[in-house]
Chains A and B, each alone.
Chain A
């Protein structure tokens, strides 16, 4: 499907790198994954999008052989996660939601540890570690204890450790949660680089914009079920566009404005109106023109693009997806 596929030497046609069917998992009486199906083509990025507690981490843990499913099957590069866990482990890399680094060692020592455990040999270990330090902008910090690393640096080191043996399938569990915008963009660039090299990536996120930015396909997980699956464009078509929010100085102005803007929704407590914008500038201009014509002053204006809350509202009719960081 992509040229990256051929670089990796897998079959040139589209092959399924991750194949999940009817996956189920409960903790006690609580059903955490309920009949999850998921297929990821080799060399592509799929985002598993869902709020806190949706079952993203559980899915990733089953795929990376840390947890056993209660039912259904999951295979990575054709190896079943239950019957052939070592086959799976040989081709995957996992960067979990929580850091999995050795905090008592330096960054370089952490990478060398991984290289040793991957049996790269002394010479290749050295070059590979140097390469990764360079690539992940950790050269200066290489010999420093991890206590001195920022959140973004630790996250990068965590990912670099995952990549020591160039795995062909990588799981990234909320790779940018808790990062500042700059580190987030760095992480996005790294993911794009991986895909350009032909790696298959399954990443989880609570953020639609991130899924949109990185993923070829998005699977929306909610309460342990896949509620929608498709390309970012397909999903966005399911979601009504964004909206404009206008706030007024007093109730009288709000009353007058709501008569002028007939398709708006009122929020009396917030002295605000919400006008659907469908993402365009035209809706904004029309609304402002009408208010101008009626000589109404707007106190405050904000534009909202669709976010995870909107996707959830559209897909489930519920407004409980907070999209907050865990």
Chain B
């Protein structure tokens, strides 16, 4: 048992704990390499929201903006850019969950995940690689969409502190939504169906205060819009960037992030073993 023992990575305890971090970084590196090598999916998660932004601003923006409370009808379009951009940013994050689910489902289908399991790579490390990689991707997408927004007239009033708070909140939301995307990708029966569930997430920004004020919606929908996570997400980002009243939206948004992240994490961990055998 001499040489054989020597080959073994140190057994339980602290040494193994440190491998989780090293392995998570290796997995992150792998996921980033995928994105650089095959940017198709990433481009899609950016182009989609940008097209919607231009569409909403230049096609509907004049009318929708004029209908916003306290807006001079002549400046409708300019007002609507301000109003809709936070919603589009959240839509970008929701859309990136589809990309996350697809890459996770691809991994599961490839059998490489089963290989990781036979190598004592902890599922925490494998999942962390996905989550970190896709969170980074979502943040890059948000930054680019925000850039387009600035080009077409989005004028935030935020000072440095508000900017930092908004950025932190967006990172947190992206992180939480990505966990959901990971779980959905793992749950999917095939790569083709992996983006179906996340598609539901993409409806949520539309059924929130992102595109029109919730007060203008019918009773039932208004109720839904008020209590679903994307309304506090959008209200908080809007408040931080544009100085609109925050109310309790920041605390509520953070609460939702915790719920979604923990939910996605528990869901993923629970099905990892079952789904990664072939």
Contacts and interface: CB of A to CB of B under 8 A. Distances in A.
B118 interface: yes
A100 interface: yes
Contacts of B38: 104
Interface stretch (B29-37, B58-66, B247-255): B29-37
B17 interface: no
A102 B110 contact: yes
Interface in A273-292: none
Contacts of A9: 1-4, 6
Given A61-B277, A91-B8, A104-B34, A117 B3 contact: no
Interface string B237-278: 000000000000000000000000000000000000000111
A117 B119 contact: yes
Contact of B22 (A66, A85, A98, A119): A119
Interface residues of B, number: 34
B119 A168 contact: no
Contacts of A113: 26, 30
B30 A102 contact: yes
B1 A10 contact: yes
Contact of A104 (B2, B7, B26, B37): B37
Contacts of B110: 99-103
Contacts of A91: 4, 7-8
B118 A89 contact: yes
B120 interface: yes
B162 interface: no
A66 B118 contact: yes
Interface string A85-111: 111011111101011111111000100
Interface in A39-63: 61
Given A61-B277, A117-B121, A77 B26 contact: no
Interface of chain B, main secondary structure? helix
Contacts of A117: 23, 26, 116, 119, 121
A161 to B, nearest CB: 7
B115 interface: yes
Contacts of A143: none
Q: Most chain-A CB neighbours within 10 Å: which of B1, B112, B116, B121?
A: B112
Contacts of A61: 277
A102 B12 CA distance: 29
Interface string B119-137: 1110000000000000000
B114 A168 contact: no
B29 to A, nearest CB: 8
Contact of B30 (A89, A96, A98, A105): A105
A103 to B, nearest CB: 6
Nearest to B125: A117
Interface in A156-196: 161, 165-166, 168
A77 B4 CA distance: 9
Contact of A100 (B30, B37, B111): B111
Given A91-B7, A98-B278, A116 B120 contact: no
B161 interface: no
A10 B23 CA distance: 29
A64 B118 contact: yes
A66 B277 CA distance: 6
Contacts of B12: 86
Interface string A1-38: 00000001111000000000000000000000000000
A77 B34 CA distance: 37
B47 to A, nearest CB: 21
B191 to A, nearest CB: 12
A118 interface: yes
Contacts of B16: 86
Contacts of B277: 61, 66-67
A65 interface: yes
Nearest to A93: B118
A191 to B, nearest CB: 19
A19 B125 CA distance: 31
A11 B7 CA distance: 15
A92 B4 CA distance: 11
Contact of B114 (A11, A87, A96, A103): A96
A89 B120 CA distance: 6
Contacts of B14: none
Nearest to A114: B119
Interface string A73-86: 00001000000011
B7 A65 contact: no
Contact of B7 (A85, A100, A166): A166
A86 B23 CA distance: 15
Contact of A66 (B2, B9, B33, B117): B117
A200 to B, nearest CB: 11
Interface of A: 8-11, 61, 64-67, 77, 85-87, 89-94, 96, 98-105, 109, 113-114, 116-119, 161, 165-166, 168
Interface pairs A-B: 9 shortest CB-CB: A9-B3, A89-B120, A100-B111, A100-B115, A90-B8, A9-B2, A116-B26, A64-B118, A94-B118
Given A109-B33, A161-B115, 19 more contacts: A65-B117, A66-B114, A66-B117, A86-B11, A86-B12, A86-B120, A87-B8, A89-B118, A89-B119, A90-B9, A90-B11, A91-B8, A101-B112, A102-B110, A102-B112, A103-B110, A105-B37, A116-B26, A119-B19
12 contacts: A8-B4, A9-B3, A10-B1, A65-B117, A66-B117, A89-B119, A91-B4, A92-B118, A96-B114, A96-B115, A116-B22, A168-B7
